Amino acid sequence: MKPSTEPCTARGEQRRSQILDAATGCFAREGFHGTSIATISKAAAMSTGHIYHFFASKEAIIAALIERKLAQSLELVSHFENAEDVFQAMLERVDQGLQERTDPAQAALELEILAEAARNPRVAALVREADAIRRERLMGVVRSARQNRTSRDTGNTSDKEDDSAAVTEVVIALFEGLTARAVNNPTLERTALAQLLRQVLRALL
Partner DNA sequence: ATGATGAGATTGAACGATCACTCTAGACTG
Partner DNA sequence: CAGTCTAGAGTGATCGTTCAATCTCATCAT
Binding site for DNA (CB under 7 A): 1, 3-5, 7-8, 11-12, 15, 35-39, 45-50, 52-53, 56-59
Answer yes or no whether residue 29 interacts with its own copies by CB under 8 A.
yes
Task: Work out how close the CB of 5 gets to its own copies at its nearest, in angstroms, rounded to a whole number.
Answer: 38
Please, which residue, 79 or 128, has the CB nearer to its own copies? 128
The whole-angstrom distance between residue 36's C-alpha and the CA centroid of its chain comes to: 24
166, interface contact from its own copies, DNA, none, CB < 5-8 Å by kind: its own copies
Please, which residue, 135 or 149, has the CB nearer to its own copies? 135
Closest CA to 3 of 11, 17, 62: 11
Task: Work out how close the CB of 99 gets to its own copies at its nearest, in angstroms, rounded to a whole number.
Answer: 15
95, interface contact from its own copies, DNA, none, CB < 5-8 Å by kind: none
φ, ψ of residue 17 to 5 degrees: the values are: -60, -40
Return the residue of 40, 90, 107, 138 that touches its own copies, per CB under 8 A. 107
39's CB contacts (< 8 A; 6+ apart) are 26, 30
**DSSP sequence for 109-140:** HHHHHHHHHTT-HHHHHHHHHHHHHHHHHHHH
Cα dihedral 67, 69, 73, 75, rounded to 10, equals 90
Query: Amino acid identity of 189?
Result: E
Task: Work out how close the CB of 58 gets to DNA at its nearest, in angstroms, rounded to a whole number.
Answer: 3
Closest CA to 98 of 201, 9, 202: 201
Residue ranges that bind its own copies, judged by CB under 8 A:
28-31, 33-34, 104, 107-108, 111-112, 114-119, 124, 127-128, 131-132, 135, 163, 165-167, 169-170, 172-181, 183-186, 188-189, 192-193, 195-197, 200, 203-204
